[in-house]
């Protein structure tokens, strides 16, 4: 086999504490022809691994190489390098007059080429002089290198002004060897004095600055630094290039905790120099989303507050003009927030990930904070995801929460609890929210909760699941709107709107506008408190003795799977509620009207057994069902008070005629009073008719008002009219054939007033 590749080394491969298998991409003839080196990056210390004791090898003889498998995975900060190392011996013995095998000769030639490649690899790593150089000069060169090695601690490195320092090669005449403390300390020549002065000005003193460079904090701690060195540079905190590059200055005593301090082996103390952009990496932050970097991050912010004029920091959690695009993980005490908005914060934008393992993701209990943005973020919390609470009399304003993922395990996703009614201007837009099934705080588990907030909009949002109400609105809130929101799954109410007692100086509440809302109830969810629909409403508008339900406008609302699709409260000072294109599906009742409730607009019901549940002094403009109900009205008021009035009622009945001739078919219970136009329509081939009649019922007499009938008969049905059939509104007609389960539409427009139940037949 040939040696077709010049490759004879692979790596270095970075360790991660997990990986144990590493490729080598060259051919070997024996496992013993591998040299495996493990290197500690921070110190450069190399260790040669031993075959079988430290690793095993496979792929011997393969042209493309093979793999080694280490018995212990190299840790982060360690590397693995694999080389081919062939013994410099010739072990093939050919007998005189004996057989010559091509493979034997080829192996000898292959080993020779492999040795050549090994030598070439070593030459490539050697320091070389130009071809035209005089070899006699080598002795002086080697002597200079040795002298340089012996004096490494005394070499001056002027950090931070490399671009301003004239190249040493061009100024050798000006460089003087200073005797005394060390033969190798270099005096800064006149040619670089201006550049040194520039750096000195940044340090606050016009003096010569001598800087030593180290690869890490550990490197400084292991070094004896010459007393002439007043500043050191580390090119990384743990290792060179890890982002912790920083300048430290010599100080006379141990610095305060958190000031970025290092003590070198000789006992000297070093502190982060002023004037540089302090970062958490300079103070030991790892940034791997596993290590708790809390101390490093807090110390970095504190140093900026004390030494930098870039930011205004009142407390550790109160910042102004800050943009955060990273991940923040809090693992502190219960209810501690990952992000806390402090007093007077002005402009804070977060677009990373904030996660609290046992507390809140975001907390606001501030005074005078404004211009807060959470956008394109991932917020996750064991408790509240975002809580703005007036326990400290917060008056937070101008807040945008947009295009984010939000999750709360055991509380509300967004809670705006502003009972002092001073908070204002909240835009919640384009978010995906969800609550978990954790142990609930009392009254929590909402998707969005708004109390006492002025000027807010919830729009273009999906609420995947809520343990309590999906949207909870209460108290003195003003100018609120909900638009384009889908609640995919809740085990409580969908939208809850209430007005509590006017206490604590609260003023009157305003209603809200709600459009394009879908709310769906899931009684089959494992965490459902009852496993039934009972007590859970799609849209729940509640009044109190201190005031009516807010005057709300609803349009394009769909409620699916609740006891009541819509529950509208009344009260002594009732205000009109408007529902345009309301839709209730698979609800026990399409709508419930409490005492005094007035609803303008139209509700469509599908698969709702009873259309309306109502109490005293209530009124509904229109309700239509496209399926066949069993009940039209469940009246829960008293007969001594005014009942319920329905202005428009449309329902369907499956018409069956078992005999030819005159027939009487009960449609519904006769209401307490009736003055309306009733239209009857049956469209089915030759069993078709349309009749419209103005009728009245005063509690005793049922009448068809003369000259108001508009009949139209097609086919086998004729003589269509309406009668009072023993307390039931009934259809009378004549048919010449049998009719089976044909859909009849009954439309009643006018005043249907009742103080009793109305069943459909």
**Predicted local confidence at residue 479, as pLDDT:** 85
pLDDT along the chain (761 residues), means of 10: 79 94 92 93 93 94 91 95 88 75 77 81 78 74 70 50 43 36 35 45 49 93 92 94 93 86 94 86 86 82 61 38 53 68 83 85 84 93 86 77 95 84 89 86 82 90 94 82 96 85 55 93 88 92 55 92 90 70 97 91 97 95 97 92 94 90 94 97 81 95 91 80 96 88 94 96 90
Helix (H, G, I), strand (E, B) or coil at 336: coil
CA distance 522 to 465: 10
Which residues are bridge partners to 355 per DSSP? Answer: 329, 380
Q: What is the third-level CATH fold of 652-759?
A: Immunoglobulin-like (2.60.40)
Give the residue carrying structure tokens 């089959």.
524
What is the CB neighbour count within 10 angstroms for residue 740?
A: 10
CA distance 212 to 219: 11
CA distance 356 to 336: 8
DSSP 95: P
**CB 630, CB 698: distance < 8 Å:** no
Which of 301, 299, 300, 297 is closest to 320 using CA atoms? 301
CA distance 588 to 562: 7
Characterize 680-711 residue by residue with b for buried, 16 or more Cβ atoms within 10 angstroms of its Cβ, and e for exposed: bbbeeeebbbbbbbbbebeeeebeeeeeeeee
CA distance 565 to 625: 13
DSSP 258: T
CA distance 57 to 50: 11
Which of 385, 441, 438 is closest to 415 using CA atoms? 385
Pairing of β 34-40 and β 78-84? antiparallel
Q: How far apart are the first and last CA of the chain?
A: 96
**575 Cα distance to chain centroid:** 39
Count Cβ atoms within 10 A of the Cβ of residue 67 and give its class: 0-12 exposed, 13-18 middle, 19 or more buried.
middle
Torsional sign, CA 167, 171, 172, 176: negative
**CB 255, CB 261: distance < 8 Å:** yes
Domain map (residue ranges) of the chain: 9-124, 137-272, 652-759
Query: Which tokens belong to 736?
Result: 């010449």
What is the CB neighbour count within 10 angstroms for residue 315?
A: 12
């Amino acid at each position: 086999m040939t040696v077709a590749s010049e490759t004879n080394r692979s790596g270095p491969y970075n360790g991660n504490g997990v990986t144990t298998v590493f490729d080598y991409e060259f051919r070997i003839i024996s496992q013993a022809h591998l040299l495996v080196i493990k290197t500690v990056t921070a110190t450069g210390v190399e260790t040669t691994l031993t075959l079988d004791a430290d690793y095993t090898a496979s792929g011997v003889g393969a042209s493309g190489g093979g793999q080694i498998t280490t018995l212990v995975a190299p840790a982060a900060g360690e590397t693995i390098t694999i080389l081919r190392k062939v013994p410099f011996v010739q072990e093939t013995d050919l007998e005189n007059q004996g057989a010559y095998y091509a493979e034997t000769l080829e192996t000898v030639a292959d080993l020779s080429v492999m040795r050549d490649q090994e030598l070439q690899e070593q030459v490539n790593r050697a320091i070389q002089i130009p071809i035209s150089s005089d070899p006699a000069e080598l002795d002086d060169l080697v002597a200079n290198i040795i002298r340089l090695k012996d004096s490494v601690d005394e070499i001056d490195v002027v950090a931070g002004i490399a671009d301003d320092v004239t190249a040493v090669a061009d100024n050798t005449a000006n460089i003087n060897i200073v005797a005394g403390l060390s033969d190798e300390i270099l005096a800064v020549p006149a040619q670089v004095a201006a550049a040194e002065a520039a750096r000195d000005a940044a340090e606050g003193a016009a003096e010569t600055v001598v800087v030593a460079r180290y690869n890490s904090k550990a490197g400084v701690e292991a070094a004896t630094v010459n007393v002439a060195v007043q500043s050191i540079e580390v090119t990384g905190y743990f290792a060179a290039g890890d982002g912790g590059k920083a300048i430290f200055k010599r100080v006379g005593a141990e610095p305060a905790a958190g000031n970025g301090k290092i003590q070198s082996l000789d006992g000297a103390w070093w502190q982060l120099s002023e004037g540089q952009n302090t970062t958490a990496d300079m103070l030991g932050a790892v940034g791997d989303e596993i290590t708790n970097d809390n101390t490093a991050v807090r110390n970095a912010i504190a140093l900026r507050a004390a030494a930098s004029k870039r930011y205004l920091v009142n407390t550790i959690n109160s910042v102004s003009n800050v943009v955060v695009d990273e991940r923040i993980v809090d693992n502190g005490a219960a209810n501690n927030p990952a992000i806390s908005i402090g007093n007077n914060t002005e402009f804070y934008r977060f677009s990373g990930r904030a996660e609290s393992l046992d507390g809140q993701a975001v907390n606001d209990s501030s005074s005078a904070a404004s211009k807060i943005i959470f956008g394109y973020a991932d917020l996750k919390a064991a408790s509240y995801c975002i809580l703005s609470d007036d326990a400290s009399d917060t008056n937070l304003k101008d807040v945008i929460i947009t295009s984010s993922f939000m999750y709360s395990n055991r509380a509300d996703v967004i809670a705006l609890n502003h009972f002092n009614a001073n908070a204002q201007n909240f835009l919640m837009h384009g978010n995906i929210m969800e609550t978990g099934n954790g142990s609930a705080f009392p009254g929590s588990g909402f998707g969005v909760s708004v109390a006492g907030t002025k000027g807010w909009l919830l729009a273009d949002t999906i609420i995947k699941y809520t343990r309590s109400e999906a949207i909870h609105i209460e108290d003195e809130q003003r100018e609120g709107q909900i638009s384009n929101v889908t609640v995919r799954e809740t085990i409580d109410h969908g939208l809850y709107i209430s007005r509590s007692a006017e206490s604590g100086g609260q003023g009157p509440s305003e209603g809200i506008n709600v459009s394009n809302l879908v709310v769906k109830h899931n009684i089959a969810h494992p965490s459902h408190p009852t496993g039934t629909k009972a007590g859970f409403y799609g849209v729940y508008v509640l009044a109190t003795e201190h005031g009516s339900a807010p005057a709300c406008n609803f349009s394009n609302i769909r409620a699916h799977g609740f006891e009541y699709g819509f529950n509208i409260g009344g009260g002594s000072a009732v205000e009109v509620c408007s529902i345009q294109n309301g839709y209730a599906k698979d609800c026990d009742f399409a709508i419930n009207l409490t005492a005094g409730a007035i609803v303008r607009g139209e509700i469509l019901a599908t698969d709702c057994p009873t259309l309306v549940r109502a109490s005293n002094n209530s009124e509904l403009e229109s309700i239509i069902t496209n399926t066949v109900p069993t009940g039209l009205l469940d009246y829960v008021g008293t007969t001594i008070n005014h009942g319920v009035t329905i202005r428009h009622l449309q329902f369907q009945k499956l018409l069956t005629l078992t005999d030819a001739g005159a027939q009487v078919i009960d449609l519904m219970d006769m209401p307490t009073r009736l003055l309306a136009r009733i239209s009857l329509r049956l469209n089915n081939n030759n069993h078709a008719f349309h009749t419209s009649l103005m009728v009245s019922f005063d509690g005793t007499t049922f009448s068809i008002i003369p000259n108001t009938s508009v009949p139209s008969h097609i086919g086998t049905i004729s003589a269509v009219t309406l009668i009072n059939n023993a307390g039931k509104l009934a259809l009378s007609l004549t048919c010449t054939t049998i009719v089976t389960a044909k859909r009849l539409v009954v439309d009643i427009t006018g005043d249907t007033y009742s103080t009793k139940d109305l069943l459909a037949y």
